[in-house]
Amino acid sequence: MNKIEAIRGAVHSGLAHDSAIKHVTGRAEYCDDIAEPAGTLHAYFGVSSIAHGRLLSMDLSGVRAAPGVVGVLTAEDIPGHNDISPVGRHDDPVFPTETVEYHGQPLFAVVAETRDAARRAAELAKVDYEALPHVTDAVAAIEAGYPHVTPPLKLERGDIAQGRAAAPRRIQARMVVGGQDHMYLEGQISFAIPGEDDEVTVHCSTQHPSEAQHMVAHVLGVPSNAVTVNVRRMGGGFGGKESQMNIFACVAALAAKRYNRPVKMRPDRDQDMTATGKRHDFVIDYDVAFDDEGRIEAVEGEFAARCGFSADLSGPVTDRALFHADNAYFYPHVRLTSRPMKTNTVSNTAFRGFGGPQGVIAAERMIEEIAYDLGRDPLDIRKANFYGEEGRDLTPYHQRVEDNVIGRVVDELEASADYRARREAIIAENAKGGVIRRGIALTPVKFGISFTATHYNQAGSLIHVYNDGSIHLNHGGTEMGQGLNTKVAQVVADAFQVDIDRIRITKTTTEKVPNTSATAASSGTDLNGMAARDAAEQIKARLVDFAAEKWQAEPSEIRFIPNAVQIRDEIVPFNDFVKLAYMARVHLSAAGFYKTPKIHWDRASGRGRPFYYYAYGAACSEVSVDTLTGEYQVDRTDVLHDVGRSLNPDLDKGQVEGAFVQGMGWLTTEELWWDDKGRLRTHAPSTYKIPLASDRPRVFNVDLVTWNENRENSIKRSKAVGEPPFMLGISVFEALSMAVASTAGYAVCPRLDAPATPERVLMAIERLRAEGSKGQRP
Ligand code: MTE
Ligand code: HPA
Ligand code: MOS
């Protein structure tokens, strides 16, 4: 017989994103590309023009009379609940009835024949307010006695006082870390098509179709089984479509049912930026005690976040900031507290890393503080504090770090990037005192994988094998560019041993897999890959039973080989085998399920094992800074990142590169700015600068660790990759910090706040110069 070829698209092999060609040729279908049925209407929000106040009256007669307007919807038109809080706190109305809570808050929706007509009409409302005092940032909120939007978390281990007593050195300071707009290429969009009775179908750009479904049902006052939510793909989500799609989905559905016509809701970029939440910015007060060798003895940290007017996901986001405030470092004595502050701004939400990056950067700042205080290379301080053997392996939340590979990852990167020699050369070059100063930093990442809300760690799938041998694959995860569908299809191809082309990747829909979790926490592949494998294995088990009976063979004599099934010496092509099974009335469809084992978390006591495992990585970045203008560029970045046994090294590298650049953008040029009226003034790409292709590192070497596999039983021993490499961008920030420090002989920690925009870099240089250098101390 013929030599057995391997299947196309096997697991652990590089394979392009299933939609790559469609993405670049414009043939990939997004929500806005779905052909609009005749009679489709368009909805647009009218918004508040103050940051905080009582709503006295809304005169919408001008809106209603505008050309093309079909109607206006306010809170009074909601048949069910005027509440879209994703965490059941009832603090998130679709439309407010008494109090306006932020500038730009949607107050009503205009429904018109065209989107342009709706947008123009929305401007014609006459709204009377009684203005109330407002606060826009976390510090002002604390000063004004504003409440927490959700209960704070405290993580504690050891005895801070004892740790401090043992440590000869101590530094207390504050760091301000900015937020970030998601800037997905495809903005928020929902397209609702009314059905009979109470039914409605919503095509929605969302990471969380089940959430959108449940919210639409809640707002319409109908059971969830009346609502279908579909999404084939998103043009990026990055956390911004885990809960923030709710208002668009609900209002589109509300209008569709009200007028019994299809209704599309798509804000323009300005409204997308002003009316949807962003990454939380933090004000972090840290207090670190350490010895003369730079070993940390005690850490106390308070993490105050600008949450916006409602809780949204701020609880788990600020929790995750604390879970990552250790990064890769062991703190013998530690106390961390979160302060999720209410503010009169849009409600902040999930964004890649989900609060983790804000925790990690605090850890890295403390390391830098220690290094400057002792006049040492920060990398040595990092290494001195890494988690280690028993006794130095316990996190602030009492989970043991059992899979630690950070030491090896950092050592290998240090060598491959030639860190020490380059740092010496840079210090020598900077000592010449030129206008251009350079900096280099090598920073580690450890990131916990799992939703910290344990119940989210479940997934489902649905697989049909049609009797021609083609396979229909569905699962609860959503595709946002990360390549989830390709990876899950690889898993199914591997299970059946068929070419991946045989597997049809289909849209995510609440009709096929119910009660799904958000595709988030980087867990999409871990969860849905396992659920899909479960379904495939069920069908395979039935096929094996069938073959055992038909051929009178032992199950051990039946093997799935590439594109065929082998029974003893007989090889039957997969298609023929499936047809035979169908004729013998074998059930060729299965629903799969998976839940992550081992994890548990008790928030009240601050103890547990919230994470199934950790992903690790490190980056080394070199920058040059123009000390006359503060402008800079990234000259080179080297990355080594651990994805366990990669399911698809091509996609994983793409994730690492994209995450690095997005993380770099967060810490460099992306600045959100609210004025004293509470208006977000950076609400378009004209005023909000994300990295361009030309801003990427001039030399960019990205490698995946090839020697590690997940010690836990994850899908094919791979590790999650979506979020962890985001924090590799911190290497750029610390390299900038070094270049700034060089202007004062590295004598003081520059205490640069994030984002380190050119202005802020220039101000830090000026500040150091004004304070005067305390002498050369490289
Ligand atoms: N990659 C692309 N291209 N687009 C995205 O929107 N979102 C990120 C990450 N990578 C995102 C992305 C975020 S925030 C998460 S949580 C993960 O992908 C989600 O997908 P996964 O769980 O399948 O990795
Ligand atoms: N990560 C991302 N999204 C989430 C989480 C989390 O831990 N919890 C709830 N939504
Ligand atoms: Mo990602 S922030 O967990 O969607």
Cβ–Cβ < 8 Å for 160, 213: no
pLDDT score, position 4 = 61
Does pLDDT of 689 surpass 60?
yes
Q: Give the C-alpha separation, 582 to 589, whole Å.
A: 11
Distance, in Å, from the CA atom of 313 to the CA atom of 277, rounded to the nearest integer, reads 10
Phi first, then psi: give them for residue 623, nearest 5 degrees.
Answer: -130, 160
Are the C-beta atoms of residues 94 and 219 closer than 8 Å to each other? yes
Q: Which atom of ligand 1 is nearest to the CA of 520?
A: 16
Q: What does DSSP say about strands 471-475 and 503-505: parallel, antiparallel, or unpaired?
A: parallel
User: Considering every ligand atom, which ligand is closest to the CA of 655?
Assistant: 1
Q: How far is the CA of 239 from the centre of ligand 2 (A)?
A: 9
Protein residue with its CA nearest to atom 1 in ligand 1: 482
Report d(CA 371, CA 762) in Å as an integer: 22
Is 242 a residue of the active site? no
Decide: 679 and 699 in contact? Cβ < 8 Å: no
Residue 87 Cβ contacting ligand 2 at under 6 Å: no
Residue 158, pLDDT above cutoff 90: yes
**Do residues 134 and 56 make contact, with C-beta atoms less than 8 angstroms apart?**
no
SS3 538: helix
Q: Please tell me the distance between residue 453's alpha carbon and the centre of ligand 3 in angstroms.
A: 13
| 239 Cβ closer than 6 Å to some ligand 1 atom | yes
Q: Which residues pair with 201 in a beta bridge?
A: 193, 228
- C-beta of 480 in contact with ligand 1 (< 6 A): yes
With a Cβ cut-off of 6 Å, ligand 3 is lined by 207, 239, 242, 350-352, 354, 520-521, 723
* Rounded-to-integer distance, Cα 759 and Cα 745, Å: 21
For residue range 228-251, list pLDDT tens digits in order: 999 999 999 999 999 999 999 999
Considering the entire predicted model, what is its pTM? 0.97
Edge to edge, the sheet with strand 589-595 lists: 503-505, 471-475, 458-465, 589-595
- The tokens for 663 are 């993380």
Q: Is the pLDDT of residue 3 over 60?
A: no
Neighbours of 559 (CB within 10 A): 15
pLDDT greater at residue 4 or residue 412 = 412
pLDDT confidence bin for 774, thresholds 50/70/90: low
- Tokens found for residue 19: 């939609």
298 Cβ inside 6 Å of ligand 2: no
Instruction: For ligand 2, say whether the CB of 320 is within 6 Å of any of its atoms.
Output: yes
Looking at the chain, the number of H-run helices and the number of E-run strands are 19, 29
Output the CA–CA distances (angstroms, integers) from residue 672 to 269, 281, 731, in the order listed. 15, 9, 21
Atom 11 of ligand 1, nearest CA residue: 238
User: Is the CB of 659 inside a 6 Å radius of any atom of ligand 2?
Assistant: no
What ligand 3 atom has the least distance to the C-alpha of 241?
4
Ligand 1 close to Cβ of residue 757 (< 6 A): no
Task: Specify the residue with its C-alpha closest to ligand 2, atom 8.
Answer: 451
350 lines ligand 2 (CB under 6 A): yes
Atom of ligand 3 nearest to the CA of 238: 4
Separation of 627 CA from ligand 1 center, angstroms?
36
pLDDT at 778 (0 to 100): 37
What share of the chain has pLDDT > 70, as a percent?
99
Nearest to 511 by CA among 201, 279, 175, 723: 201
165-179 per-position pLDDT tens digit: 999 999 999 999 999
Residue 309 has what pLDDT? Answer: 98
Question: How many other C-beta atoms lie within 10 A of the C-beta of residue 587?
Answer: 11
33-88 residue pLDDT tens: 999 999 999 999 999 999 999 999 999 999 999 999 999 999 999 999 999 999 99
For ligand 1, mutation pick of 522, 715, 727 (most atoms within 8 Å of CB): 522
Residue with the nearest Cα to atom 9 of ligand 1?
A: 722
pLDDT band for position 272 (50/70/90)? very high
Whether 1 has a pLDDT exceeding 60, the answer reads no
Tens digit of pLDDT for each residue in 407-433? 999 999 999 999 999 999 999 999 999
CA of 532 to the centre of ligand 3 (A): 21
663 Cβ inside 6 Å of ligand 1: no
Q: Which of 364, 723, 734, 759 is catalytic?
A: 723
Protein residue with least CA distance to atom 3, ligand 1: 481
Write phi, then psi, for 385 (nearest 5 degrees).
-115, 0
Dist. CA 93 → ligand 3 center (Å)? 23
Do the bridges between strand 570-573 and strand 564-567 make them parallel or antiparallel, or are there none, so unpaired? antiparallel
Compute, in degrees rounded to 10, the torsion defined by CA atoms 239, 453, 475, 710.
90
Between the alpha carbon of residue 424 and those of residues 263, 440, 534, 744, 773, the distances in Å are: 62, 10, 54, 17, 20
Name 15's Cβ contacts closer than 8 Å, sequence gap at least 6.
Answer: 9, 486, 490, 500, 648, 650, 651
Q: How far is the CA of 484 from the centre of ligand 3 (A)?
A: 14
**Distance between Cα 320 and ligand 2 center (Å):** 8
Q: Is the pLDDT of residue 280 over 70?
A: yes
What pLDDT is attached to residue 775?
Answer: 46
**For residue 480, which ligand has an atom nearest its CA?**
1
- Measure the CA–CA gap between 310 and 341, rounded to whole angstroms: 9
* Ligand 3 atom having least distance to the Cα of 207: 4
List alpha helices for 112-159, DSSP H. Answer: 115-122, 138-143
Ligand 2 centre from 357 Cα, in Å?
Answer: 14
Residue 528 CA to residue 456 CA, distance in Å, equals 12
DSSP string of 96-125, one letter each residue: -SSEE-STT-EEEEEEESSHHHHHHHHTT-
Reported as a pLDDT band with limits 50, 70 and 90, residue 770 is: confident
The residue nearest atom 12 of ligand 1, judged by CA position, is: 482
Mean pLDDT of all residues belonging to the chain: 97
Nearest protein Cα to ligand 2, atom 6? 451
Decide: 459 in ligand 2 pocket, CB within 6 A. Answer: no
pLDDT confidence bin for 771, thresholds 50/70/90: confident
Residue 564, H or E segment: strand 564-567
* Total count of residues recorded for the chain: 778
Using alpha carbons, select from 581, 526, 552 the residue that is nearest to residue 716. Answer: 526
**C-alpha to C-alpha distance for 189 and 245, rounded to whole angstroms:** 7
For the CA of 453, the nearest atom of ligand 2: 8
Q: Ligand 3 atom 4: the closest Cα is on which residue?
A: 239
452 CB near ligand 2 (under 6 Å): yes
Counting ligand 2 atoms within 8 A of each CB, the residue from 85, 153, 242 with the most, and so the one to mutate, is 242
Task: Give the per-residue pLDDT at 772.
Answer: 63
* Sheet strand arrangement including 154-157: 154-157, 333-342, 296-308, 282-290, 169-177
* Strand ranges across the sheet with 558-561: 558-561, 564-567, 570-573
The rounded distance, in Å, linking the Cα atoms of 715 and 752 is 41
Query: Atom 5, ligand 2: which residue's CA is nearest?
Result: 451
Mean pLDDT of 332-341: 98
From the CA of 484, how far away is ligand 1's center (Å)? 9
The ligand that comes nearest to the alpha carbon of residue 523 is 1
Q: Is 236 in the pocket of ligand 1 (CB under 6 A)?
A: yes
Name the pairing type of β-strands 282-290 and 589-595. unpaired
Q: What are the residue ranges of helices labelled H in 144-276? A: 160-166, 209-220, 246-259, 269-275
Which ligand is the nearest neighbour of the Cα of 488?
1
What SS3 state is found at 705? coil
Q: Are 306 and 206 in contact (CB under 8 A)?
A: no
DSSP string, 456-501: G-EEEEEEEE-TTS-EEEEES---SSS-HHHHHHHHHHHHHT--GG
Measure Cα distances from 462 to 9, 101, 299, 487, 654 in Å: 20, 42, 48, 16, 28
Q: Which atom of ligand 2 is nearest to the CA of 452?
A: 7
* Å from CA of 722 to ligand 3 middle: 8
Residues near 599 by Cβ (< 8 Å), separated by ≥ 6?
Answer: 450, 454, 457, 608, 609, 610, 611, 612
- Dist. CA 284 → ligand 1 center (Å): 27
- DSSP class of residue 178 equals -
pLDDT in tens, 348-370: 999 999 999 999 999 999 999 99
Report the candidate in 447, 458, 418 with the shortest Cα–Cα distance to residue 701.
418
Residue 484 in contact with ligand 1 by CB distance below 6 A: yes
Residue 436 carries which DSSP code? Answer: E
How far apart, in Å, are the Cα atoms of 743 and each of 103, 429, 456, 634, 700? 41, 12, 49, 18, 27
418 alpha carbon – ligand 3 mean position (Å): 34
CA 718-720-726 angle, to 5 degrees, is 140
Looking at the predicted structure, is the pLDDT value of residue 293 above 70? yes
Of 241, 352, 479, the residue with max ligand 1 atoms within 8 A of its CB, to mutate for a pocket test, comes to 352
With b for 16 or more beta-carbon neighbours within 10 A and e for fewer, the 48-84 pattern comes to bbbbbbebeebebeebeebebbbbbbbbebbebbbbb
Our answer on whether the CB atom of 453 is closer than 6 Å to any ligand 2 atom is yes
Ligand positioned closest to the Cα atom of 240: 3
| Nearest in space to 287 (alpha carbons), one of 397, 172, 368, 198 | 172
* Residue 777 pLDDT level (bands cut at 50, 70, 90): very low
482 C-beta closer than 6 A to ligand 1: yes
Cα–Cα distance, 202 to 190 (Å, whole number): 7
